Structure formats: C-alpha cells, structure tokens
Amino acid sequence: MAKKKIGLPPLDWLRVFEAAGRLGGFSAAAKEFGLTQAAVSQRIGNLEAWLGRSLFVREARGVSLTVEGESYLPLVQDSLQALERNTEDLFGKSPRELRVAGLSSNIHALVLPALPAFQKLRPGVRVLTDSGARRSTLDEERTWLQIRYGRGIWAGRDAALIAHEVLVPMAAPGIEWGAPLIDLRGERPGWREWAQKCNQEDAPPSQISFDSMEHAISAARRGLGVVLGSVPLAFADLQEGRLRRMGLPELQTKDGYWLTWPEDRAKSKKQRALIEDFLQALRG
C-alpha cells in the first residue's frame, strides 16, 4: 500500500481507528459511534490509504490489528487523551457535581462528617452519594468515584488513602471492661487476634456477633458490650462522647479506607483538583 499523504490524518478517522482497536472490531466501533459497519470500514480504509500501511487484517471471523496497527494504537490513544484533557483544562467548566459511591457505613461515617468542610472548599458543587450494603456491589457500581476498604490495590484503579484502619476496644459511657464482648465476623482482625498481639489474657466472653462494623458499633453505643471498633468509622461517636476508648492497647492493621477511581478518569487538572479537595475534607 503506497503512502499517499503526510502529516496528521483527520481526527474522525483516528477516533474510529482507536475505537476499533480498543474494542476489537468494526461492528463494536460502529455501535459506539452510532455508525454503520460500512462507514467504519470506509474511515479506516481512508486512514490506511493516508498512512500507506495496513492497520487491520480482514478475516472471515473479523479483524485483528497488524504489527503496524498494534504499534500505532497506543500512540493514537495517548494523543486523543491528551487532547481531551488539555481541551477540558483550557475550555471546560469547573465541575459542578461530585458523585461518590461506597458502603452505606462508609458513606455515613466518612462522607457525612466531611461535607461541611468540603462545602466550604467547594460551595458551588453538589454532592451525590450512592450506597451499597455489600462490598461486591462496588464492582458493578456505575459511579466511578468510590470509597473502598482494603490495601489500596485494585486492578485498573488509582487510590488515595483516607485513613488507616485502627481497631480499639471501645464502649458506651458507664460500660467497663468485663462487660460482654461484641464480636465481628469478617476480614478484620477480631478479639482473638487482638488478645494475641496485645498480650491480653482472660478476655470476657462474647454474647453478640455481627457481620457489619456499623452494626457492631451501633450495639456498643446502646450499651450492649465492648466492641473492637474501627477508629475511622467510630470517630464521630468517640469525639461526641457516645463511645469511649477503654484505655486498652489498639490494634494496627494493614488495611485502610481509600478514595478510588478508574485509571482513565480524573485526568484533567480541574477534576484532579476537585478530588484533592474532597480528599482533604475526608482526611480532616
């Protein structure tokens, strides 16, 4: 295929090529742009003629990138993303909305207390929350900005730490050590791990067991016993006196609460600045 043009090909051809390469076919690219498959094929054919190189191998089962196509695709993707990002930075409006998803307990304990500080930083931004009862639902959540619990490593996502998880024996005022323990089932270390790491023996028995830190903390607030509670999630209760630390050793963990987003989002300066202000409020 002879090279017929030099310089930059039309942007429309590049966008269609990027979609076909990313999605693995002309029909998928056609669906993304609302075009016919023939229109996509024509644009890519025009691009190939412009470059003087074949970018796709046409086969009965579909298409696949050539060696030149595989080399060209990441260059086109980077260029399109840079153009979009710089256009947004230069001409885009400041974000007027922040939408965040997370477990209902994290929205309640981390986001709600942060709203006054965030509204001072961003008085014109409307905050929307999407809450779920189970962590597994976050993988299916369409809201891209999320609060997650773990070690900060999720495939395809960037993450910024809000707070490390610290577990401390705590109870309502008037409840002393020796009261029944409130047990918590799940991935967090429990009373057994706490007793081993803190060299504590003769721990009181447990009479209640929950599968949610939010419920365990709520039970402690009601005076039902002593909980090995999350300091970040119980911060407001501790600060306002509804719960108190028992004066016993705390248990540091390797987990934490993170603000996360897909790697391909939050590329513009304005979007990153909005996330940084939200992080500042969450960490406050």
pLDDT digits (tens, 9 = 90+) for 40-85: 999 999 999 999 999 999 988 889 999 999 999 999 998 888 887 6
Within-domain flag for 2: no
Within-domain flag for 4: no
The predicted model gives 217-227 an average pLDDT of 97
- % of the chain surpassing 70 pLDDT: 94
Q: The domain containing residue 112 runs over which residues? A: 97-160+257-283
Together in a domain, 171 and 245: yes
Together in a domain, 156 and 22: no
Task: Quote the pLDDT of residue 82.
Answer: 80
Together in a domain, 262 and 136: yes
Together in a domain, 220 and 107: no
| Domain final residue pick, 64, 91, 118 | 91
Q: What is the CATH number of the domain that holds 125?
A: 3.40.190.10
Residues in the chain: 284
Please tell me which residue, 224 or 6, carries the higher pLDDT value: 224
Together in a domain, 70 and 37: yes
Whether the full predicted model's pTM is greater than 0.85, yes or no, is: no
Within-domain flag for 197: yes
Within-domain flag for 53: yes
- Angle of helix 11-23 relative to helix 26-33, nearest 10 degrees, comes to 120
Task: Quote the pLDDT of residue 171.
Answer: 98
Together in a domain, 152 and 267: yes
Together in a domain, 38 and 70: yes
Together in a domain, 79 and 122: no
Task: Quote the pLDDT of residue 194.
Answer: 92
Together in a domain, 79 and 124: no
| Domain final residue pick, 38, 61, 91 | 91
The DSSP bridge partners found for residue 56 are: 65
Average pLDDT, the chain: 90
Task: Quote the pLDDT of residue 265.
Answer: 78
pLDDT band at 133 (very low <50, low <70, confident <90, very high): confident
Residue 70: in which H helix or E strand, if any? helix 67-91
CA distance 262 to 144: 7
Task: Quote the pLDDT of residue 94.
Answer: 60
Together in a domain, 44 and 123: no
Q: What is the CATH number of the domain that holds 18?
A: 1.10.10.10
DSSP E strands in 152-238: the ranges are 157-171, 181-184, 206-210, 226-230
pLDDT band at 92 (very low <50, low <70, confident <90, very high): low
- Enumerate residues 6+ apart whose C-beta is below 8 A from 29: 16, 19, 20, 23, 35, 40
Residue 103 has φ and ψ, to the nearest 5°, of -60, 150
Residue 164: in which H helix or E strand, if any? strand 157-171
CA 37 to chain CA centroid, nearest Å? 35
Count of domains forming the chain: 3
Task: Quote the pLDDT of residue 75.
Answer: 93
pLDDT at 3 over 80: no
Tokens at 209, concatenated: 């067991």
Tokens at 10, concatenated: 């039309």
pLDDT at 93 over 60: no
Together in a domain, 190 and 232: yes
Listed residue (284, 23, 282, 255) closest to 145, CA to CA: 282
